[in-house]
Chains A and B, each alone.
Chain A
Amino acid sequence: LDTTNEREEDEKEAVQRARLFIYLSAVIVIAVLLYALVVYLTAFEGVPVGPFTGMSDFQSALMMKVV
């Protein structure tokens, strides 16, 4: 019985640890993607550009924000 209880506790602990790491990973990935989205949305303020500006403009804007 003790062994069964220990195993159940181990499984619970494993699920909690897995949840923690998955949530941490989600926070990192979503933060990076949100950062890119915010920079993209604010990069062309006041600049008369069309919808197909190309990747290099976006990347240049990102670079200007980062550096």
Chain B
Amino acid sequence: MRKLFRVEIGVFVWALAFAVFFFGSLSLSINLDYRIVDVLLANPDSYSAYVQDALLYLILPAAIAFAFMIVALAKEVKSPTGVLEAFWLPITVFGFVFFLLSLLSLRTTYYYYQYNVSWIRSYASYTDIMPLIQTVYTTVMMGYVVWVLGGFLLMLSPIFKIILNRRADLPSPRA
């Protein structure tokens, strides 16, 4: 159990979460454009399917990987294995890829949210589905925010470690 929470296994968990996120959220992100209005007008109960997909494919994998990585980084601070220094480049590149993709997805989702809300407001008879639209988009955007934060953590953790090491090597100003 002590060897389970390591940085390298955390990176592996992030990679698995990324595969689940990519293929699992594919159908979700397609229907999040203007088609969601037609889907919800035809069947308002289908919003729960959107929320369920967002929780399963966006939030859950990222939350597991995020929690795993935080525990692994905390253990790495206590007993350093040198993984963050030795493999800083691949870890930073992974983090950057996750950060960039989720940021772009978040921007696209927010654009479609604004588009759909303005479209629904222009038709008074469609305002019934406004809370459903807000629920779906809020859940999905929260999922992307978790991915943005996770990518940011993964991208900067080796850089912070290297900066801390360099600072520890410097002589103390009081000495």
Give A contacts to B, CB under 8 Å.
14-15, 17-22, 24-26, 28-29, 32-33, 36, 55-56, 59-60, 62-63, 66-67
Q: Contacts A28-B16, A59-B26, A59-B29: A21 and B86 contacting too (C-beta < 8 A)?
A: no
Q: Contacts A33-B97, A59-B26, A59-B29: A28 and B19 contacting too (C-beta < 8 A)?
A: yes
- Kindly provide the distance from the CB of A61 to the nearest chain B CB, expressed in whole angstroms: 10
Which B residues touch A22, using CB under 8 A? 8, 11-12, 87, 90-91
Interface size on B, residues (CB 8 A): 28
Within 8 A of A (CB), among B9-38: 9, 11-12, 14-16, 18-19, 22-23, 26-27, 29-30, 33
Question: A25-B11, A29-B94 given. 11 additional CB < 8 A pairs?
Answer: A15-B86, A18-B7, A18-B87, A21-B11, A25-B15, A26-B90, A28-B16, A28-B18, A62-B26, A63-B26, A66-B23
Determine the main DSSP class of B at the interface with A: helix
Determine the residue in chain B with the shortest Cβ distance to A31: B19
CA distance A3 to B12 in the complex (A): 31
Which B residues touch A29, using CB under 8 A? 15, 18, 94, 97
Closest 8 CB pairs of A and B: A25-B15, A21-B8, A18-B8, A28-B15, A21-B12, A18-B83, A25-B12, A25-B11
Which A residues touch B27, using CB under 8 A? 63, 67
B81 within 8 A of A: yes
